[in-house]
Amino acid sequence: MPGKRRSELRQAQPERIEVVSDDKIEALRLIDGRLRWLSAWTIHNANHLRDSTDGLKVGGHQASCASMTALMAALYFHALGPNDKVAVKPHAGPVLHAIHYLLGSQSREQLENFRGFGGAQSYPSRTKDVIPVDFSTGSVGLGVAITAFASLVQDYLVAHGMMDAADTGRMVALMGDAELDEGNIYECLIEAYKHDIRNCWWIVDYNRQSLDATTAERMFCRFDEIFASCGWRVATLKYGKLMEAAFAEPGGTELKAWIDDAGNADYAALTYQGGAAWRVRLSADIGDAIAPLLAARDDDALAALMTNLAGHDMASLIEAFDAAQDDVPTLFIAYTIKGHGLPFAGHKDNHSGLMNPAQIASLRDAMGIADGQEWEALAGLGDNARTGVQALLDGCLIAKAKRPRPWGGIDVPAVASPAGDEQSTQAAFGKILLDISRAGGPLADRIVTTSPDVTVSTNLGAWVNQRGLFRRSELADVFAAAKIPSPQKWAARPAGQHIELGIAENNLFLMLAALGLAGDLFGLRLMPIGTLYDPFIARGLDALNYACYQDARFMLVATPSGVTLGPEGGAHQSINPPLIAMGQPGLRHYEPAFVDELAVMMEEGFRLMQAEDGESVYLRLTTRSIAQPERSDDGWKAGALAGGYWLREPGPDTKAALIFSGAIAPEALAAWESITDDLPGIGLLNVTSPDLLHRGWSNGLASHVTRLLAALDRDATLVTMLDGSPAALSWLGSVRGHRVSPLGLDRFGQTGSLEQLYAHYRIDEEAVLDAVAGLHL
């Protein structure tokens, strides 16, 4: 509510502030050094020492790692509590592995096999790495935003009494500064503000370099303003302790002003050039005032001073983290140098730069590591130093082993098909959810729905009326209170089970990713269902891929779809989502023609979402109301779940089959009726999942689709049709070598009645008859 102080909503946080001794800071610095070395050595080993069989460059990012080893040392060995979860900047993955190596939870073998088959992954991966990775990263920006949604999920679990407030943690993202260019960050920021998220830290490794170049200084201060206006505390960590001390010396004020005015490229270039270059430049720019300050330092000391940005200064980092111990979302902008401590520090081309053997050898010598001791975890540390470092390693609170994934556990009762001779799959979806809600029980209680401003138009309204909107604090329904009639009752409360999002489909997929990982992150599986219009899947594709890549489990209901949307026109009609689904691992596409199919698919979906060998489910639905079939038995069900079944069995020696999916079932049936006299025994195959059929076929010859099509003569012909790209079904001709005529959409849709559109796009009865005739000429 406007004006309400965030602090009034805050919950008590465990007290973590302590007086940090100099010894501890020194031990953290040593860990910083160990992480810098081990990450660089891991990458060096993969590129220069490991045998290469294919001559491909292996790669890795020594400079991006060195940029944040101090940050990560301070975080992991001082600031993180046992319930905190971290998304690590993708190209700092080797630092995370080095941390676990120091902790004993990562093996040397895995590090030696970095970027190799079965070895430590290039970018942290929840599913593939052997160490516990809270959030996968790789596509920059997404790993940052998911932490905000994860903090919302945590609040949801607490508000629903499933999780104790004392067990909550902070969701932390470690990000590169160029990630701030990704638009998804700002979409997420807006949504996060609306939901008043908390317990979230985003820590920017502000090295002012991206992949290609140094970044534009025009953005100085803008980020602070953007975040502050969305309710975030912004902590800028710019000057390290050496710098702060120097600012108090004669000439210090001028030095500080010079640092503040310096351009990013200048600062980076001077860093690369080193102490002598700093001396010449500072003298030239500042003049006599800086002379005593320069005279008091040799070139090495001057370089150390000028690169003593707070992001590399352990005392500054600890201070900043300790000062942010409440639950206010906080952006830390930590100034750093890309490649800090490495020979290419500050060089604009250092993103993928690799030290050569001579350079790594001199780094090893400088760190006091004996030749041959490179993999020794605490190499180069004397006995006293080891004691302090070991104490920090022993005191580290993060999980060292992966949390077992919660499989099963939520009973899935039989999902009944809604009654009615004429129905649409979209309306039936709404009724099924309403029935589940009314019946109550564990499944109903674990379902969380979410939608980017299309809750009503995707038929979630009745469910929301029953289960309520989720908000951490009660929000009255003003219209209901004023007795203004409306079918939607939109009161929000902590017990609500629908998370309403603004129109940003990317956020929908990140929300589903976070909800679908609730079991992994917090030990409590939720059953997320997200709805959106089918064409707008494309808007959030990378986030959808990101969710699937992490094996988040959810149900995606995309409706309406295809030109069956009629008068809504081409801008809202979807063509290629069935192809998207075929190409998306971890997501099973079902396209029901009839509502009883939808019921079994939802039931199956709830099982798949919590099965070890399961996956997420995408249901492509429609608003078109069509006549429902009379079933004589349940024989169709297994086929519908496996990807298809004969709605009309082909007769012996039949020479043709019609194959269709989804909303155009009436046209397929009408065409079948017309042809059956001329081609007796023609079959009618209802493909409920082009995706599943294709997967089965590409995995081996004894697949469901091979068996289905074995019912046809070798020289039979196929006409395939769906309200979508024809390529989703045309491949069926290759399964047993049948000739095929594929019907479907390959041009943008337009407005019109269904009759007009189906005729125009050639997915009507006449088009089928023409296609059959063409094949039989």
Ligand X SMILES: Cc1ncc(C[n+]2csc(CCOP(=O)(O)OP(=O)(O)O)c2C)c(N)n1
Q: Which stretch binds Mg ion (CB under 5 A): 71-79, 174-182, 357-365, 581-589?
A: 174-182
139 binds ligand X (CB under 6 A): yes
Determine the residue with CB nearest ligand X.
176
491 binds ligand X (CB under 6 A): no
Of these partners, Mg ion, ligand X, none, which one is at the site of residue 139 (CB under 5 to 8 Å by kind)? ligand X
Give me the least distance between CB of 694 and ligand X, in Å please. Answer: 28
Q: Which stretch binds ligand X (CB under 6 A): 175-183, 238-246, 276-284, 765-773?
A: 175-183
Looking at the DSSP bridge assignments, the partners of residue 644 are 687
Distance CA 237, CA 727 (A): 54
Give me the least distance between CB of 506 and ligand X, in Å please. Answer: 12
Q: Which of 94, 143, 169, 176 binds ligand X (CB under 6 A)?
A: 176
106 binds ligand X (CB under 6 A): no
Q: In the complex with ligand X, which residue's Cβ is closer, 337 or 580? A: 337
Distance CA 421, CA 759 (A): 25
* Beta carbons within 10 angstroms of residue 220's beta carbon: 13
Give me the least distance between CB of 626 and ligand X, in Å please. Answer: 41
Q: What are phi and psi of 657, to 5 degrees?
A: -145, 145
Here the tokens at position 273 are 């050039």
Q: Which of 168, 210, 449, 703 binds ligand X (CB under 6 A)?
A: 210
Q: Which stretch binds ligand X (CB under 6 A): 171-179, 291-299, 597-605, 720-728?
A: 171-179
Of these partners, ligand X, Mg ion, none, which one is at the site of residue 553 (CB under 5 to 8 Å by kind)? none
Query: Cβ contacts of residue 374 below 8 Å, gap of 6+?
Result: 41, 45, 364
Q: Which stretch binds ligand X (CB under 6 A): 172-180, 264-272, 454-462, 523-531?
A: 172-180
Of these partners, ligand X, Mg ion, none, which one is at the site of residue 519 (CB under 5 to 8 Å by kind)? none
Q: Which stretch binds ligand X (CB under 6 A): 114-122, 176-184, 255-263, 429-437?
A: 176-184
SS3 187: helix
423 binds Mg ion (CB under 5 A): no
Map residues 634-663 to x or -, x wherever contact with Mg ion holds by CB under 5 A.
------------------------------
Q: Which of 64, 437, 564, 584 binds ligand X (CB under 6 A)?
A: 64
Q: In the complex with ligand X, which residue's Cβ is closer, 211 or 627? A: 211
Give me the least distance between CB of 495 and ligand X, in Å please. Answer: 37
Here the tokens at position 597 are 């199919």
177 binds Mg ion (CB under 5 A): yes
The CA-CA-CA angle for residues 413, 418, 419, to 5°, reads 135
94 binds ligand X (CB under 6 A): no
Of these partners, ligand X, Mg ion, none, which one is at the site of residue 644 (CB under 5 to 8 Å by kind)? none
Here the tokens at position 200 are 């979230």
Report the site for ligand X in 745-774 (rule: CB under 6 A). none
Q: In the complex with ligand X, which residue's Cβ is closer, 74 or 178? A: 178
192 binds ligand X (CB under 6 A): no
Say whether the peptide bond before residue 292 is cis (omega within 30 degrees of 0): no
Distance CA 177, CA 90 (A): 13
SS3 144: helix
67 binds ligand X (CB under 6 A): yes
346 binds Mg ion (CB under 5 A): no
Q: Which of 84, 205, 520, 596 binds ligand X (CB under 6 A)?
A: 205
Q: Where are the alpha helices (DSSP H) in 54-212?
A: 62-66, 69-74, 93-103, 108-112, 142-159, 183-194
177 binds ligand X (CB under 6 A): yes
Of these partners, Mg ion, ligand X, none, which one is at the site of residue 179 (CB under 5 to 8 Å by kind)? ligand X
136 binds ligand X (CB under 6 A): no
Here the tokens at position 644 are 């298809």
Distance CA 758, CA 376 (A): 70
Distance CA 558, CA 581 (A): 12
Here the tokens at position 491 are 């009161």
Q: Which stretch binds ligand X (CB under 6 A): 108-116, 201-209, 422-430, 446-454?
A: 201-209
- In this structure, are residues 516 and 552 in contact, taking their beta carbons and an 8 Å threshold? yes
- In this structure, are residues 274 and 303 in contact, taking their beta carbons and an 8 Å threshold? yes
- In this structure, are residues 414 and 441 in contact, taking their beta carbons and an 8 Å threshold? no
Q: Look up tokens 């260019």; give the residue.
A: 181
Distance CA 22, CA 27 (A): 9
Report the site for ligand X in 312-341 (rule: CB under 6 A). 338
185 binds ligand X (CB under 6 A): no
Q: How many residues lie near ligand X (CB under 6 A)?
A: 17
339 binds Mg ion (CB under 5 A): no
Of these partners, ligand X, Mg ion, none, which one is at the site of residue 211 (CB under 5 to 8 Å by kind)? ligand X
187 binds ligand X (CB under 6 A): no
The CA-CA-CA angle for residues 612, 617, 623, to 5°, reads 160
Using alpha carbons, list the distances in angstroms from residue 215 to 65, 208, 209: 18, 5, 5
Q: In the complex with ligand X, which residue's Cβ is closer, 90 or 452? A: 90
Give me the least distance between CB of 68 and ligand X, in Å please. Answer: 7
Here the tokens at position 292 are 């005593």
Q: In the complex with Mg ion, which residue's Cβ is closer, 337 or 428? A: 337
Q: In the complex with Mg ion, which residue's Cβ is closer, 236 or 465? A: 236
Of these partners, Mg ion, ligand X, none, which one is at the site of residue 129 (CB under 5 to 8 Å by kind)? none
- In this structure, are residues 721 and 560 in contact, taking their beta carbons and an 8 Å threshold? no
* Beta carbons within 10 angstroms of residue 413's beta carbon: 13
Q: What are phi and psi of 687, to 5 degrees?
A: -90, 110
Give me the least distance between CB of 177 and ligand X, in Å please. Answer: 4
| DSSP label at residue 79 | I
125 binds ligand X (CB under 6 A): no
Distance CA 691, CA 703 (A): 13
140 binds ligand X (CB under 6 A): yes
User: Please, which contacts does 623-626 make with residues 24 or more away whose CB atoms are closer than 8 Å?
Assistant: 623/424, 623/426, 623/427, 623/559, 623/560, 623/564, 623/565, 624/424, 624/560, 624/564, 624/663, 624/754, 625/422, 625/423, 625/424, 625/427, 626/422, 626/423, 626/424, 626/593, 626/594, 626/663, 626/665, 626/666
Distance CA 224, CA 221 (A): 5
**Host H or E run for residue 766:** helix 765-776
Give me the least distance between CB of 427 and ligand X, in Å please. Answer: 38
Q: Where are the alpha helices (DSSP H) in 645-716?
A: 665-675, 690-699, 704-709
Q: Which stretch binds ligand X (CB under 6 A): 202-210, 234-242, 259-267, 282-290?
A: 202-210
Distance CA 455, CA 130 (A): 39
Q: Which of 207, 506, 628, 688 binds Mg ion (CB under 5 A)?
A: 207
Q: In the complex with ligand X, which residue's Cβ is closer, 209 or 550? A: 209
Of these partners, Mg ion, ligand X, none, which one is at the site of residue 506 (CB under 5 to 8 Å by kind)? none
Give me the least distance between CB of 179 and ligand X, in Å please. Answer: 5
Give me the least distance between CB of 180 and ligand X, in Å please. Answer: 8
Looking at the DSSP bridge assignments, the partners of residue 331 are 202, 234
Using alpha carbons, list the distances in angstroms from residue 175 to 49, 95, 187: 30, 13, 17
Give me the least distance between CB of 100 and Mg ion, in Å please. Answer: 24
Map residues 344-363 to x or -, x wherever contact with ligand X holds by CB under 6 A.
-------x------------
Q: In the complex with ligand X, which residue's Cβ is closer, 203 or 721? A: 203
* Beta carbons within 10 angstroms of residue 769's beta carbon: 16
Give me the least distance between CB of 138 and ligand X, in Å please. Answer: 6
Which residues in this chain contact ligand X in the complex, by CB under 6 A?
64, 67, 90-91, 139-140, 176-179, 205, 207, 209-211, 338, 351
Which residues in this chain contact Mg ion in the complex, by CB under 5 A?
176-177, 207, 209
